[in-house]
Amino acid sequence: MSTFTSPLLQTLAQVNDEDDAAISVYLDLDPSVTPTRADMASRVRSAVDRLETASDRRSGEAKRTFEDGVDRVHRFLGEQDLRGGAEVHGAALFALGCEVFEALPLWRSAGDAVTAGGRFALRRLAVEDARTSQVLLVIAGRELGRVVLLRDGRLIELVDADQEIENRHHQGGWAASKLQRYTDRQAELHLAAVVEIAERTHARLGQPPIVLAGTAENSAVMRGRLGQEASAAVIGELPNMRDFDEASVLRELTAIAERHDGERERAMLERHAEQLGRGELAEGLDAALIAISESRVQTLLLAPGPGPEVCACPQCGRLSDRVQVCPLDGSFIVVEPMGLELAVAEAISRGADVWQLSDANRDALAASAGVGVITRY
Ligand SMILES: [Zn+2]
């Protein structure tokens, strides 16, 4: 989970409103779906209309809380042009009365959806959040050093290491070396300085995946010099990038990030299968849901699509795949109107990540109705 949204996801997942007034809105702002501000306005209007229709069932305090939330959403969407540049492809809004309001830009669209219930609908946000959205690119050559961050679909130049290293040389009384041809020793010192700057930046950013760019020889030198943590974070290498324009850098890094996510997914499915194989986890939806309720889940795995029916105990919150008497308190476990979203909120609030399988692996969890878990122990 990204270090930026994870605390916020946890906070939102803990909201549990008796009046079912927790409002979640996802907007598809992809330029192909929402090309103009007017398109967005009409999309927003229909989203808010759907919410207001839903509020007719409520009365008294519950209705007021709900309408305060709708108001917040309405006002925010009326005042802001969420499209804000090509990199914003979606938005997620969460409101509960006057107490909670969060608006988050998404750089990959999560589609359109509006829900109101006891919990926030966090699945789409959590799924986006779990994918690799940050990559640190370290470009280094004999006389070249740059550290660039791919974040949310765009490139941000973090450090022009050349400048920093040059200043350092001045300070160290090396001014004359600038005029000389770089010797091997100097090239080595230069690479070491770039690596040092990259490592510092990597730690400061919460250790995102790293891609090294340079000749095979320079990349090998960089790999050798990186410390354990940064070295373990390297997910790919690119050739010397002198001739790359921004669009091709973006394309290459995005492809590496996607490949990396494919590998992560394979590893997760393997671990899931191993846990089942060793009998640490029973097969089936019910076992997965119980593991969530018992706070044993590290990663909740979901097949794409709406997901199965989920039941919950109104007394203690225990999840189940069927209507039955709760083994813990004797209450009737009943069908949960929010369905799988409740399981997602429960899992996140208990510290789990949420991973949605790619289409290629969509049937991997068929034996447990498209819901699987990796447990902590
Ligand atoms: Zn119960």
Least confident window among 29-33, 256-260, 307-311: 29-33
Q: What is the Å distance from ligand 1's center to 346 Cα? A: 14
pLDDT band at 3 (very low <50, low <70, confident <90, very high): very low
CA angle at residue 70 from 343 to 31, to 5 degrees?
Answer: 80
- The residue assigned the tokens 């007719």 is 56
Domain ranges in the chain?
Answer: 6-130, 134-262, 281-375
Q: What is the Å distance from ligand 1's center to 331 Cα? A: 6
Instruction: For residue 323, give both structure tokens.
Output: 């209507």
In sequence order, which residues have a C-beta less than 8 Å from that of residue 263 and are 6 or more positions away?
Answer: none
- Find the mean pLDDT for residues 109-130: 92
- The residue assigned the tokens 């009737």 is 332
Q: What is the Å distance from ligand 1's center to 334 Cα? A: 10
Q: What is the Å distance from ligand 1's center to 99 Cα? A: 28
Res 310 pLDDT > 90:
yes
pLDDT at 95: 95
Q: What is the Å distance from ligand 1's center to 376 Cα? A: 23
Q: What is the Å distance from ligand 1's center to 10 Cα? A: 23
In sequence order, which residues have a C-beta less than 8 Å from that of residue 223 and are 6 or more positions away?
Answer: 212, 231, 234
Strand partners, 147: 138, 159
pLDDT band at 40 (very low <50, low <70, confident <90, very high): confident
- Find the mean pLDDT for residues 15-23: 92
Res 238 pLDDT > 60:
yes
Q: What is the Å distance from ligand 1's center to 314 Cα? A: 7
6-130 fold: 3.30.960
- Find the mean pLDDT for residues 319-328: 96
- Find the mean pLDDT for residues 244-250: 86
pLDDT at 182: 53
Q: What is the Å distance from ligand 1's center to 226 Cα? A: 51
May I ask the CATH class of domain 281-375?
alpha beta
Q: What is the Å distance from ligand 1's center to 124 Cα? A: 28
pLDDT at 174: 46
Res 56 pLDDT > 80:
no
Q: What is the Å distance from ligand 1's center to 288 Cα? A: 17
- Find the mean pLDDT for residues 231-248: 86
pLDDT at 55: 67
Domain made up of 134-262: CATH architecture: 2-Layer Sandwich (3.30)
Res 2 pLDDT > 50:
no
pLDDT at 207: 92
Q: What is the Å distance from ligand 1's center to 122 Cα? A: 23
Fold match, 134-262 / 281-375 = no
Q: What is the Å distance from ligand 1's center to 311 Cα? A: 11
Least confident window among 56-65, 224-233, 257-266, 328-337: 56-65
pLDDT at 152: 79
Q: Which of 4-18, 22-36, 264-278 has the highest mean pLDDT?
A: 264-278
Q: What is the Å distance from ligand 1's center to 356 Cα? A: 28
Pick from 200, 225, 222, 224: which is nearest to 211 by CA? Answer: 222
pLDDT at 188: 82
pLDDT at 33: 77
Res 175 pLDDT > 50:
no
pLDDT in tens, 194-225: 999 999 999 999 899 999 999 988 899 999 99
Give the mean pLDDT of the chain. 87
Output the CA torsion sign for 63, 64, 65, 69.
positive
Least confident window among 148-152, 258-262, 312-316: 148-152
Q: What is the Å distance from ligand 1's center to 319 Cα? A: 9
pLDDT at 241: 74
Q: What is the Å distance from ligand 1's center to 326 Cα? A: 5
Q: What is the Å distance from ligand 1's center to 327 Cα? A: 7
pLDDT in tens, 88-106: 788 899 999 999 999 998 8
111-149: burial string, b at 16+ Cβ within 10 Å, e else: ebbbbbbbbbbbbbbbbbbbbbbbbbbbbbbbebbbbbb
Q: What is the Å distance from ligand 1's center to 290 Cα? A: 12
Pick from 203, 179, 202, 174: which is nearest to 189 by CA? Answer: 174
Q: What is the Å distance from ligand 1's center to 105 Cα? A: 37
